[in-house]
Amino acid sequence: MPSIPISFEFFPPKTPVGQEKLLVVRDKLAALNPEFFSVTYGAGGSTQDGTLQTVLALRESGIDSAPHMSCIGASRAELRNQLQGYKDKGIRRLVALRGDLPSGMGMGGELRYANELVEFIRQEFGQDFIIEVAAYPEVHPQAPSLDIDIQNFVRKCQAGADSAITQYFFNADAYFYFVDKVRAAGIEIPIIPGIMPITNYTKLARFSDACGAELPRWIRKQLESYGDDSDSIIKFGEEVISNMCQQLIDGGAPSLHFYTLNQAKASLAVVNNLK
């Protein structure tokens, strides 16, 4: 077990079978006593109800659970009602995001950026919520430069974020460089590395290309060489991610946040390898 806190991200299942499987995964990962679970939702809030139901189901394990919340396409009144609903249900942690635009949809809504959402939450609800925001060690795919991306991140922190969770990456140096830049800008909140276990090359390559996470050539070539040998892919992925996580811990990362894709095995293997 690692010497620092861990947390896990899930997405809302779309089928009854998926919901049943998630409860099994929840219990396996809850046994590690994580700091919290988080739950995503789709572009434009397309699975908002599913997100809330998943949060409530995860919370039955006794682990604090946080919904992702996006401001894209929502009015202030809608956001206020959503936040009040979370507060009424005892939800005290949020992951505040701009959100992805649904295809064919303009910006919409009254708030355009995550820093505006964080500011709105603080204005309306004070310190009622612990607010996590997103960070991009390899630069947000829509940011024109690292420096502008850092400025955008600083605005989110100054608006009232408590901590940040990064996009996943496979190069620990990118994380450490980002943290150094953020600290030089006067930001002291915890920056939690987001960790993506490697279990499937094709899906990982497609997903990484879409979200701007670099899959290093040496990893890509090694995974390609295994072809359909899933056992070798999983074994190699476990070794690579375990080594990187240990490097992050040794370098002072405050916590680790695992993107589980609603599976337990790969995250469990990595966590069990850590000192």
| pLDDT tens track for 133-157 | 999 999 988 889 999 999 999 999 9
E-state strands within the chain: 6-10, 36-39, 65-70, 93-97, 130-135, 163-168, 191-195, 256-259
Q: Which two tokens stand for residue 71?
A: 């401001």
Q: Would you state the pLDDT for residue 47?
A: 62
Q: Which two tokens stand for residue 49?
A: 């109800």
| pLDDT tens track for 242-254 | 999 999 999 999 9
Q: How confident is the model at residue 73 (pLDDT cuts 50, 70, 90)?
A: confident
Phi and psi, residue 195, nearest 5°:
-115, 125
Q: Would you state the pLDDT for residue 44?
A: 44
Q: How confident is the model at residue 3 (pLDDT cuts 50, 70, 90)?
A: confident
Q: Between residues 258 and 49, which one has the greater pLDDT?
A: 258
Q: Does domain 6-273 have CATH number 3.20.20.220?
A: yes
| pLDDT tens track for 15-72 | 999 999 999 999 999 999 999 999 997 544 446 678 999 999 999 999 999 999 998 8
Q: Between residues 209 and 38, which one has the greater pLDDT?
A: 38
Q: Would you state the pLDDT for residue 198?
A: 97
Q: Would you state the pLDDT for residue 181?
A: 96
Q: Would you state the pLDDT for residue 108?
A: 60
Set 9, 116, 138, 238: catalytic member: 9
- Cα gap 86→71, rounded to integer Å: 15
Identify the DSSP state of 43: G
Average pLDDT rounded to a whole number, residues 81-97 = 96
Q: How confident is the model at residue 102 (pLDDT cuts 50, 70, 90)?
A: low
Q: Would you state the pLDDT for residue 80?
A: 96
> Is the pTM of the predicted complex or chain greater than 0.85?
yes
- Cα gap 107→60, rounded to integer Å: 35
Q: Would you state the pLDDT for residue 13?
A: 93
Q: Would you state the pLDDT for residue 129?
A: 98
For tokens 């899933």, the residue is 230
Q: What percent of the chain has pLDDT over 70?
A: 94
Residue 97 has pLDDT above 80, yes or no: yes
- Cα gap 108→75, rounded to integer Å: 9
Domain ranges for the chain: 6-273
Is 20 designated active site?
Answer: no
Residue 259 has pLDDT above 80, yes or no: yes
Q: Between residues 201 and 72, which one has the greater pLDDT?
A: 201
Q: What percent of the chain has pLDDT over 90?
A: 84
